[in-house]
C-alpha cells in the first residue's frame, strides 16, 4: 500500500472512530442502548459512504459473524433512524449514515447522490430548511422530517 493510501486509510479510520464515539455518547445521553449489532450496522453505513440496502448491510453483518436474520437489520435501521443517526433514501429504498448525528432531521438536509459511483454527501443547508418549513406552514403542513434527495454526478465522476 502506498504512503498516500495508508494516510487516507488512517484519516478514514479516525473519522469512523470519531463518528462511532459520537453515536455512543448520544445514545448514552438519551439512555438508549447502542448494542453491538446497532453499532456494526452504523459502522457499515459510515464505511460504505453510499446508500446501502438492508440486504447489503445483512451481508456485512454476516461477514462480521452476526446472525443471518433480516428482521434484526431492519430493527437496527429503525433504531438508527429514530436516534437521528441514519436516513432512509426513499428514491432507492436504501439507508445512509447521517452526517449530522442526533439532529431532529429538520435541519434542511440535502442528500447529494452520485448516479455513477453511488457516493452520497449530506449537506446541511439551514436556509433551505427554513424555506421548506415556511412553505409547509403556509399550507398548514407540519413536516416531521426533511431530507431532499438530489441525484446527479459528483465532481470525481464528472472529471473522469
CATH number at residue 149: 3.30.1490.190
Sign of CA dihedral 96, 102, 106, 110: negative
Q: How many helices (H) does the chain have, and how many strands (E)? A: 6, 5
pLDDT of amino acid 10: 45
* Domain extent for 23: 1-98
CA distance 160 to 152: 14
27 annotated to bind ligand: no
CA distance 37 to 70: 12
Q: Mark which of 78, 98, 118 sits at the end of a domain.
A: 98
CA distance 125 to 119: 19
Q: How far apart are the first and last CA of the chain?
A: 23
Q: What is the CA radius of gyration of the chain?
A: 17
154 annotated to bind ligand: yes
Q: Which residues pair with 149 in a beta bridge?
A: 111
Is residue 50 located within the same domain as residue 118? no
* Entry pTM: 0.79
Predicted confidence (pLDDT) per residue in 105-148, tens digit: 555 678 899 999 988 888 877 777 788 888 989 999 988 777 88
Residue from 143, 86, 77 nearest 120 by CA? 86
pLDDT of amino acid 156: 92
CA distance 97 to 47: 9
pLDDT of amino acid 44: 95
Is residue 62 located within the same domain as residue 109? no
pLDDT of amino acid 108: 61
Is residue 94 located within the same domain as residue 112? no
Give, in order, the Cα–Cα distances in Å from 157 to each of 4, 8, 97, 103.
21, 19, 22, 30
pLDDT of amino acid 7: 35
Residue from 98, 105, 93, 110 nearest 151 by CA? 110
Positions of the chain with pLDDT lower than 50, given as ranges: 1-11
Number of domains comprising the chain: 2
Please say whether the beta carbons of 108 and 145 come within 8 A.
no
Amino acid at each position: 500500500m502506498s504512503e498516500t493510501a495508508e494516510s487516507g486509510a488512517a484519516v478514514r479510520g479516525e473519522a469512523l472512530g470519531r463518528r462511532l464515539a459520537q453515536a455512543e455518547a448520544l445514545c448514552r445521553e438519551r439512555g438508549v442502548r447502542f448494542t453491538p449489532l446497532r453499532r456494526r450496522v452504523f459502522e457499515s453505513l459510515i464505511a460504505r459512504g453510499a446508500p446501502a440496502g438492508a440486504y447489503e448491510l445483512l451481508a456485512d453483518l454476516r461477514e462480521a459473524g452476526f446472525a443471518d436474520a433480516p428482521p434484526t437489520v431492519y430493527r437496527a435501521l429503525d433504531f438508527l433512524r429514530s436516534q437521528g443517526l441514519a436516513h432512509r433514501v426513499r428514491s432507492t429504498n436504501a439507508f445512509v449514515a447521517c452526517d449530522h448525528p442526533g439532529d431532529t432531521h429538520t435541519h434542511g438536509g440535502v442528500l447529494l447522490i452520485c448516479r455513477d459511483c453511488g457516493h452520497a454527501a449530506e449537506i446541511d443547508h439551514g436556509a433551505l430548511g427554513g424555506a421548506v418549513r415556511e412553505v409547509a406552514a403556509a399550507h398548514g403542513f407540519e413536516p416531521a422530517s426533511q431530507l431532499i434527495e438530489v441525484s446527479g454526478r459528483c465532481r470525481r465522476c464528472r472529471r473522469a
